[in-house]
Amino acid sequence: MNTTPRPRRLAAVAAALVAATLTACSNTGADTPSSPTGQLTGSGPATMWVRAADEPMDKALVAAWNEANPTRKITMLTVPDAQYVQKYVQAVRSGDAPDLAAVDIANVKSLTGENLLTDITAQVNALPYKAALAPAGVDISTVDGRIYALPHQLDVSMLYYNKTLFTKAGLDPAKPPASLDELVDAARKITALGDGVYGFSFAGNCAGCNAYTLLPYIWASGGDIMNADGTQATLDDPAVAAALNAHKTMWDDKLMPAAVKDDNGATWLSGFQSGKVGMVALGSFAVSVYKAQPGLDFGVTPIPGAKGTASFLGGDVVGISKGAKNAQTAWDFIAWSMSEDVQKTVVAKTGQLTVRADTADNSFTHAEPRLLTANQLIAQAKVPVTAKYNALFIDPTGPYLQFIRNWVFAGDPAKAVADGKDGFASRLRS
């Protein structure tokens, strides 16, 4: 599963990260105290599972750690995203779990709900920068006040807008849309430019893409698609109608390309990249993709709704497996990876978002203000709270994607809500 569908990062990025990290990882982070005594055991070599979508940075961090810790090396295994949860559950239950698990942030409830991760509350509470950690990443990993994982690799969803098209359409590129009405109005004015230009685009046949980028329109409209504990769909929430109606209007009025109806994510990025689309919601990973496109002048802003703005926090959290044989090594790696040195001089240097608010403002984000905007969104970004995330929001045959398609493309909100409620209820019961 992957909350943040993205192209594989280039191997060169990983190589550069290894080189940069060798210096930073030579100390374990002056701002990272030792774990409270008696809490964790096992300081030998450790194992780590990571998901394929985020392998490059994990590979580089592990290589750097191993260079500095030759007697406590970490062996890393990359697991295909779609297989990760099932394989991990089987591994823990068979007593063959890795010491460290870097799991999709939206899937951590699947693990904590099965008691598959180690309680690291004491260690986390001892961190002097605990309050600076991405709040949604900590909250989603917390059960009954106990913490089981921490933010590891992060990505946030944002609205990208083409400044050149904004200017041509008579819009102020310094004032991107801050509401759904402004979004639709801007899309209308940009589409009026003609010559194959459209105001807006989204991947209308991609479940995961729309979890990551359409849910924030709902949150920013003052509501949600599920109740607080993730046990029931709230598809008749007025905020849901506000977000879906804005998309339906832009579809009905041909303010987006006809191809969006069948886009399963394969061309999600390319329309905006071509300079023919005015706005699209994507993850912060796309900053590096679009900045490499000659002549593409773009800005980023929080995703707007009827009552404010919002963002989805994607990426991974990292925890220690239940029954880990080298839990102390695992914690030391986690703490080191969050240290100021690593966050500022390694993570930020490679264009990744830092997991700590107090490290977001650094020389590298100054050089790329769009990443600073993304990093600042971490403080408000949300994650859906459900142990059934894959079945509901990622499965292309699941109820969420069909709900969107019935509303936006079929133009039948009543059927969308009725069928959607049945579909969500069925998946939640299974």
- Domains annotated for the chain, with CATH where assigned, are 11-155+314-377 (3.40.190.10), 156-312+387-429 (3.40.190.10)
Count other C-beta atoms under 10 Å from residue 253's C-beta: 13
Report pLDDT for 171: 98
In order along its 430 residues, the chain shows pLDDT tens digits of 355 444 433 333 333 333 333 334 444 433 433 344 447 999 999 999 999 988 888 888 898 899 999 999 999 999 999 899 999 999 999 999 999 999 999 899 989 999 999 999 999 999 999 999 999 999 999 999 999 999 999 999 999 999 999 999 999 999 999 999 999 999 999 999 999 999 999 999 999 999 999 999 999 999 999 999 899 999 999 999 999 999 999 999 999 999 999 999 999 999 999 999 999 999 999 999 999 999 999 999 999 999 999 999 999 999 999 999 999 999 999 999 999 998 887 788 777 899 999 998 888 888 899 999 999 999 999 999 998 999 999 999 999 999 999 999 999 999 999 999 999 999 999 8
State whether the Cα torsion 35-40-44-45 is positive or negative. Answer: negative
Please list the helix, strand and coil fractions of the chain in percent, rounded to the nearest 5, in that order.
45, 15, 40
Q: What is the 3-state secondary structure (H, E, C) of 296-311?
A: CCEEEECEECCCCEEC
State the greatest distance between any 2 C-alpha atoms of the chain, in Å, as a whole number. 68
Report pLDDT for 3: 52
Phi, psi of 374, deg, nearest 5: -60, -45
Three-state secondary-structure class, residue 394 = helix
Q: Report the alpha-carbon distance of residue 182 to residue 302 in Å, rounded.
A: 13
The DSSP 8-state label assigned to residue 206 in this structure reads -
Amino acid identity at 120: I
Phi, psi of 318, deg, nearest 5: -130, 135
Residues 69/97, Cβ–Cβ less than 8 Å = no
Phi, psi of 28, deg, nearest 5: -90, 10
Scanning 253-311, the segments in alpha helix (DSSP H) are: 270-273, 286-291
Residues 214/202, Cβ–Cβ less than 8 Å = yes
Cβ burial, residue 206 (10 Å; 0-12/13-18/19+): buried
Scanning 113-237, the segments in alpha helix (DSSP H) are: 121-125, 135-139, 163-168, 180-191, 207-219
Q: Report the alpha-carbon distance of residue 115 to residue 199 in Å, rounded.
A: 46
Residue 109: C-alpha distances to residues 56, 213, 290 (Å): 24, 20, 33
Report pLDDT for 61: 87
Question: Which of 246, 143, 256, 264 minimizes the C-alpha distance to 208?
Answer: 264
Residues 409/261, Cβ–Cβ less than 8 Å = yes
Tokens linked to 101: 């698990």
Residue with tokens 């329309």: 271
- The H-or-E segment that residue 149 falls in is strand 149-162
Question: Which of 300, 301, 280 minimizes the C-alpha distance to 202?
Answer: 280
The two counts, helices (H) then strands (E), for the chain are 19, 12
Residue with tokens 């509470």: 125
Sequence-ordered strand ranges (E) for 222-312: 277-283, 298-301, 303-304, 309-310
Report pLDDT for 32: 36
Cβ burial, residue 128 (10 Å; 0-12/13-18/19+): exposed
Report pLDDT for 344: 87
pTM: 0.88
